[in-house]
């Protein structure tokens, strides 16, 4: 425990220890930015130290996997200068693969013609196949990709990048159960939580998006910022089991994992 | 790679290797369940092996932290018999702490009077304080808690459980920067990614909800199921840094982490 600001009952009411004396609580309780306003920009302007603007656009589509989008969002949203937005065919709620959760797309695809970072989350079988066949989405991805600093995917999102023609001749990764399908896109499956190939960054399945995003945070900002973000989300993983990759599982467990995904899919 | 179903170009088009011959792809492509329908039930009914129903209700509120809710959702939604739903004061979009993402609450609090599992996510300073003062929410939490099998929290959600009077005399955990505030609720801070005290399960900060949910999955179902879910979300964490807890960070990094949270808060 460090600093006086952390003492319960200190001047400002707060439930997080203060970053600077009286700082965190004060900002949390007194700022009145409109919903969706750019907090980092506001902070930057106030302090005369505006960081370069980095727009991160996360594609949402029917049947996407929530954590593929939210893991990287939670890492990137606190990197100075980063603005995260969610994009779908139309603005509004988009249902996930299980049908038990919806995230809201803040913008429609036609409203987003430039972005510094594009992130394509993965989905179950149905959602991924639909996106792999959607020529309009491919055109949108290619248009954005011309000017991105980073074009990224999580899980089967790499198959969508592949269908858009972006992975030809490149090393890439994807969801473990989808590795054989990367070759159809002309990519070479490469082991790893994430694979960097020029400005294309592909992540492995679902939760790997968090590891990929920490790497991305260090490239957008610097390693120290990425480390602070890791601490900020208390990402000190310690799962009660160690069966998170097929290399650590037996064939029966693989079958059960895929059956559970199948059964929960809408 | 196991099984013929995994070969690209096999009979059914699929982008995930099949759980059973022709199974996964077929189900993904051909079932037409309505949005929000209960897939596991439907499966169970079809197979004559209905698992016991476990409703998981995740509270969403203004300023909550997205990953606190989505991490556990992504783990629990595929446990057989589990139905996850999102609940807020009113149905509809609920904005997160950064203002850059919204999740949709499927149900209003008044519509949810029973649940087997209650999950209270955490928030930044502003969102947490508001919930700690909301007597109506505390009453709702206590009413549900009477009949839950598990009452759970992630991050500063434990301070909300505490404000509702549920943690008196119990060991519990919370977000690292909020540890001193647990005592005000009469709880004893206890280290760990999650702490089980009777039917109350508290998780540490943000990403710890995933570890907690895997434990919960094993208690709702069995360890084998939890292990399969871990593989299903490829949760084989390998962050590029090792600064995810204050024990692994220096004081300056703690300050930077809290500053980044502060700057990104709306």
Class of domain A50-232: alpha beta
Q: Cα distance from B140 to chain A (closest Cα, Å)?
A: 22
User: Which residue, among B10, B13, B16, B83, would best test binding to A if mutated, counting the most A CBs under 10 Å from its CB?
Assistant: B16
Query: Residue holding tokens 């400005």?
Result: A199
Cβ <8 Å between B39 and A98: yes
- Which helix H or strand E contains B104, and what residues bound it? strand B102-105
Residues 148-167 of B with CB under 8 A from A: 155-156, 159
Considering chain B, what is the average pLDDT of its residues? 87
Residue A29 — very low, low, confident or very high, per pLDDT cuts 50/70/90? very low
Cβ contacts of B238 on chain A, cutoff 8 Å = 193, 211
Cβ contacts of B71 on chain A, cutoff 8 Å = 67, 70
CA B166 to chain centroid: 19
Cβ contacts of B160 on chain A, cutoff 8 Å = none
Residue B16 touches partner A, C-beta closer than 8 Å: yes
Closest residue to A70, CB basis, from B67, B211, B260 = B67
Q: Which pLDDT value is given to residue B99? A: 96
CA A2 to chain centroid: 31
Cβ contacts of A264 on chain B, cutoff 8 Å = 39-40, 77-78
Q: Do B59 and B88 touch, CB atoms closer than 8 A?
A: yes
Residue B185 touches partner A, C-beta closer than 8 Å: no
Q: Which pLDDT value is given to residue B266? A: 85
**Which tokens hold the place of B199?**
């039917």
Query: Residue holding tokens 């248009």?
Result: A143
DSSP string, chain A: --SGGGSTT-SS--SS--SSTTHHHHHHHH--PPTT--HHHHHHHHHT-PPPPEEEEEE--TTB-HHHHHHHHHHHTTSTTEEEEEEESSSEEEEBTTSS-EEEESEEGGG----SEEEE--B-HHHHHHHHT-HHHHHHHHHHHTT-SEEEE-TTHHHHHHHTT--TT-EE---GGGGGGGGGGT-EE--SSEEEETTEEEE-STTHHHHHHHHHHHHHS-HHHHHHHHHHTT-----S----SGGGS-HHHHHHHHHHHHHH--
Q: Which pLDDT value is given to residue A52? A: 73
Please say if A77 is a catalytic residue: no
Q: Cα distance from A26 to chain B (closest Cα, Å)?
A: 9
Cβ contacts of A20 on chain B, cutoff 8 Å = 255, 259
**What is the spatial distance between Cα A72 and Cα A121, in angstroms, rounded to a whole number?**
10
Residue B214 — very low, low, confident or very high, per pLDDT cuts 50/70/90? very high
Q: Do B72 and B213 touch, CB atoms closer than 8 A?
A: yes
Q: Mean pLDDT over residues A198-202, rounded?
A: 98
**What is the spatial distance between Cα B70 and Cα B13, in angstroms, rounded to a whole number?**
29
- pLDDT of residue A46 exceeding 80, the answer is no
Considering chain A, what is the average pLDDT of its residues? 87
Residues 97-156 of A with CB under 8 A from B: 98-104, 106, 124-126, 128-129, 132, 155-156
Cβ <8 Å between B211 and A238: yes
Residue B16 — very low, low, confident or very high, per pLDDT cuts 50/70/90? confident
More confident residue, B13 or B14: B14
Domain range annotation of chain B: 50-232
Cβ <8 Å between B17 and A258: yes
Cβ <8 Å between A231 and B243: yes
Among B62, B240, B46, residue whose Cα is nearest residue A208: B240
Cα torsion A183, A189, A194, A200 to 10°: value is -50
- pLDDT of residue A4 exceeding 80, the answer is no
Measure CA of the first residue to CA of the last residue in chain A; give whole Å: 46
DSSP 8-state symbol, B185: G
Cβ <8 Å between B263 and A79: no
Cβ <8 Å between B258 and A124: no
Among B130, B257, B128, B102, residue whose Cα is nearest residue A36: B102
| pTM: predicted TM-score of the whole model, two decimal places | 0.87
- pLDDT of residue B264 exceeding 70, the answer is yes
Other beta carbons within 10 angstroms of residue A91's beta carbon come to 15
CA B260 to chain centroid: 23
Q: Which pLDDT value is given to residue A7? A: 46
Residue B10 touches partner A, C-beta closer than 8 Å: no
Q: Tell me how many residue pairs between chain A and chain B have CB atoms under 8 A apart.
A: 429
Active-site hit among A131, A154, A155, A220: A155
Q: 3-class SS at B203?
A: strand
A29, burial (CB in 10 Å: exposed 0-12, middle 13-18, buried 19+) = middle
Query: Residue holding tokens 């989008």?
Result: A69
Q: 3-class SS at B68?
A: helix
Active-site hit among B82, B106, B155, B210: B155
pLDDT above 90 covers what percent of chain B? 80
Q: Which pLDDT value is given to residue A36? A: 37
**What is the spatial distance between Cα A58 and Cα A112, in angstroms, rounded to a whole number?**
11
Other beta carbons within 10 angstroms of residue B140's beta carbon come to 20
Other beta carbons within 10 angstroms of residue A199's beta carbon come to 13
Q: Which pLDDT value is given to residue B38? A: 39
Cβ <8 Å between B17 and A177: yes
Residue B30 touches partner A, C-beta closer than 8 Å: no
State the sign of the Cα–Cα–Cα–Cα dihedral B98, B99, B105, B110: positive
Residue A18 — very low, low, confident or very high, per pLDDT cuts 50/70/90? low
Nearest CA in chain B to A163: B15
Q: How far is the CA of B30 from the CAs of A206, B12, B27, B90, in angstroms?
A: 24, 10, 5, 34
Residue B6 — very low, low, confident or very high, per pLDDT cuts 50/70/90? very low
- Which helix H or strand E contains B84, and what residues bound it? strand B82-88
Q: Mean pLDDT over residues A33-48, rounded?
A: 39
């Amino acid at each position: 425990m460090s600093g006086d600001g952390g003492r319960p009952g200190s001047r400002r009411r707060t439930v997080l220890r203060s970053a600077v004396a009286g700082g965190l609580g004060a900002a949390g309780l007194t700022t009145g930015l409109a919903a969706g306003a750019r907090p980092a920009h506001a902070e930057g302007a106030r302090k005369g130290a505006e960081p370069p603007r980095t727009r991160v656009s996360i594609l949402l589509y029917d049947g996407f996997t929530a954590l593929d989008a939210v893991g990287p969002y939670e890492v990137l949203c606190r990197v100075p200068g980063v603005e995260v937005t969610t994009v779908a065919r139309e603005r509004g709620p988009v249902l996930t693969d299980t049908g038990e959760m919806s995230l809201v797309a803040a913008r429609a695809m036609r409203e987003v013609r430039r972005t510094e970072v594009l992130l394509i989350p993965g989905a179950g079988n149905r959602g991924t196949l639909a996106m792999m066949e959607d020529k309009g989405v491919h055109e949108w991805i290619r248009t954005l990709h011309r000017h991105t600093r980073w074009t990224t995917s999580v899980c089967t999102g790499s198959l969508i990048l592949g269908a858009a023609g972006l992975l030809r001749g490149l090393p890439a990764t994807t969801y473990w159960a989808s590795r054989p399908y990367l070759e159809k896109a002309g990519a070479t499956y490469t082991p790893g939580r994430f694979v960097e190939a020029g400005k294309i960054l592909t992540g492995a399945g679902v939760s790997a998006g968090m590891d990929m995003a920490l790497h991305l945070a260090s490239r957008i900002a610097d390693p120290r910022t990425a480390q602070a973000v890791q601490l900020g989300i208390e990402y000190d993983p310690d799962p009660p089991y160690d069966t998170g990759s097929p290399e650590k599982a037996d064939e029966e467990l693989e079958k059960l994992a895929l059956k559970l995904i199948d059964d929960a899919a809408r």
